[in-house]
Amino acid sequence: MTSQPSPSRSVRSAAIIGAGQTGATAALGLLDAGFDVTVYSDREQRSLRDDVPATGTALEFGEAQQAEAALGLDSFTARAPRHTGLSVRVAGPGGAELIDFDGNFDGYVGVAVDTRLKADERLTAFQERGGEFVVEPVTPDSLDRIAAAHDLTLVATGRGGLSELFAIDTSRTVYDAPQRSLLTVTVTGLDFDRSVFAHRSPAGGGHSGFSILAEQGEAWWGPYLHKDAGPSWAFLGWARPGSEWEKRFAAADSAESAHRIVVDLYRDYIDWDLPEVLATRVIAEDPHSWLKGAVRPVVRAGLGHTASGHTVASLGDTSVAYDPIAGQGAQSGIIQAQRLVAAAAAHEGPFDDAWITRQYADFLAARSDAAAKVTRLFLSDPEFADIGGALFAAAGADSRFASALVGLLHRPQPFLGIDSVEAAHAFIADVTGESASAVLGRFQPAGTFSRSVYRGPLVRV
């Protein structure tokens, strides 16, 4: 739990710009830590919930959930359908069915919660407990005034918004463009029991399903908690530049068309999962249940200054934008928010440049650098081709290592020090207790993936 202010200390003030899930989390955390907090949002609360799509799928695991628990917040693990593992299939050039494995989440679960729902609940609690919510699109000029009037100002306006106030960290930003085009759509019609995706895992619908097609991109299905429909499923697809999938994703202009594109994708490329996909239905009550776009992975500075030189701190996607392939963005923002709240509550002096710079460096070292590197691994970055080849083959050969590999989505830190095939082999040996050559010697190409025989309700689209 966050600490209460000491009776002798005067109440300190904080401004949070942006009421997405990261800003709402930091606001509630600082309020509960005794700060006088004002949130500035470019939209009214109802509009944040109902007039925009969710920023992303926001699948979060144990470490991010622990950060929420440390703030006294609900991480939705009792309300959202739980992910207990990830089933992975890798098809190579020409569609050759190469690697399949099913990793368990050992000692933690994943939940993907609609960012609009999470932010909405936290904003409601924030206002009920005395926080001030101001509807005002903040500009660089008005930020100057706001920062002057508060002891601590956090900018959580997402990837766009006011992010340009924070310089790009060129030593950490390795891509000059997005690496994938994205398409996501949330649907109903599919259960979560063992009969669903049973061909992939004995856990059935408890495990999300990831397919990597070397020539096209990646496709993922996972259980989701939608703000209106409740327990549901989310599709998330990544298309490589110049691929056929990229053309298909670009054509989406509604939830219905996005859904149709996904069904056709599975019919044409990923037939092993097709019966489940045919059972899904668009969420009629939410016209914003889909999203397309692209994210350039960018790391910005944690510290910025307004025109008159007031100190401001970046937070969430404003600090670091990740391609969502390893599910790191929402997790990173929550962890960053919790660390900032805990440090601010304990800090006695001013929230000056040195304090903000120190907090940000600690956050990069504790989570973000590793999260960005694991994202590059799952993006099949050529720099990690040999390392990724060894790690994915080992996962295909050994179920313990499969769990360790998918565990990097929860705790990416073990990958931070892996910069060579030798280091990858040491990681494999460490997890399995066998030499990497013994583990990799057992690897057999999948040959043909097992196909779904799911007999759910077939819905024609």
Q: Which residues bind ligand FAD (CB under 6 A)?
A: 17-23, 40-43, 48, 55-60, 112, 115, 137-138, 156-158, 161-162, 182, 184, 236, 291, 295, 316-317, 324, 327-331, 333
In the complex, least distance from residue 163 CB atom to ligand FAD, rounded to whole angstroms: 9
Q: Which residues contact 194 (CB under 8 A, 6 or more apart)?
A: 202, 203, 204, 205, 206
* 61: three-class secondary structure by DSSP: coil
In the complex, least distance from residue 183 CB atom to ligand FAD, rounded to whole angstroms: 8
Count other C-beta atoms under 10 Å from residue 57's C-beta. Answer: 24
Which structure tokens are listed for 178?
């997005």
Burial of 412 (0-12, 13-18, 19+ CB in 10 A): buried
Which structure tokens are listed for 297?
């992975």
Give first-to-last CA distance, the chain, whole Å: 49
Query: Closer to ligand FAD at the Cβ: 95 or 140?
Result: 140
Cα distances (angstroms) measured from residue 98 to each of 214, 236, 397 = 10, 22, 12
In the complex, least distance from residue 94 CB atom to ligand FAD, rounded to whole angstroms: 28
Which structure tokens are listed for 325?
């392939």
In the complex, least distance from residue 128 CB atom to ligand FAD, rounded to whole angstroms: 20
Which structure tokens are listed for 114?
């609609």
Q: Which residues contact 170 (CB under 8 A, 6 or more apart)?
A: none
In the complex, least distance from residue 348 CB atom to ligand FAD, rounded to whole angstroms: 28
For residues 118 and 54, the answer to whether their CB atoms sit within 8 Å is: no
In the complex, least distance from residue 455 CB atom to ligand FAD, rounded to whole angstroms: 29
In the complex, least distance from residue 199 CB atom to ligand FAD, rounded to whole angstroms: 23
Query: Closer to ligand FAD at the Cβ: 222 or 396?
Result: 222
Query: What is the rounded CA–CA span in Å between residue 31 and residue 123?
Result: 11
Cα distances (angstroms) measured from residue 335 to each of 1, 348, 372, 425, 443 = 14, 22, 14, 30, 36
Query: Closer to ligand FAD at the Cβ: 112 or 406?
Result: 112
Query: Closer to ligand FAD at the Cβ: 336 or 452?
Result: 336
Query: Closer to ligand FAD at the Cβ: 282 or 440?
Result: 282
In the complex, least distance from residue 103 CB atom to ligand FAD, rounded to whole angstroms: 16
Query: Closer to ligand FAD at the Cβ: 209 or 275?
Result: 209
Query: What is the rounded CA–CA span in Å between residue 337 and residue 39?
Result: 14
Query: Closer to ligand FAD at the Cβ: 103 or 396?
Result: 103
* 354: three-class secondary structure by DSSP: helix
Query: Closer to ligand FAD at the Cβ: 20 or 131?
Result: 20
Query: What is the rounded CA–CA span in Å between residue 281 and residue 94?
Result: 31
Query: What is the rounded CA–CA span in Å between residue 208 and residue 201?
Result: 9
Count other C-beta atoms under 10 Å from residue 446's C-beta. Answer: 16
In the complex, least distance from residue 355 CB atom to ligand FAD, rounded to whole angstroms: 21
Query: Closer to ligand FAD at the Cβ: 55 or 380?
Result: 55
**In this structure, what are the phi and psi dihedrals at residue 236, rounded to the nearest 5 degrees?**
-140, 125
Query: Closer to ligand FAD at the Cβ: 216 or 319?
Result: 319
For residues 232 and 188, the answer to whether their CB atoms sit within 8 Å is: yes
Query: Closer to ligand FAD at the Cβ: 55 or 188?
Result: 55
In the complex, least distance from residue 156 CB atom to ligand FAD, rounded to whole angstroms: 5
In the complex, least distance from residue 414 CB atom to ligand FAD, rounded to whole angstroms: 18
The half-sphere exposure of 8 on its side-chain side, counting CA atoms within 13 A, is: 1
267-290 in b/e burial notation, b at 16+ Cβ within 10 A?
Answer: eebbebbbbbbbbbebbeebebbb
In the complex, least distance from residue 225 CB atom to ligand FAD, rounded to whole angstroms: 12
Q: DSSP character for 11?
A: P
Query: Closer to ligand FAD at the Cβ: 320 or 394?
Result: 320
For 111, the enclosing helix (H) or strand (E) is: strand 111-112
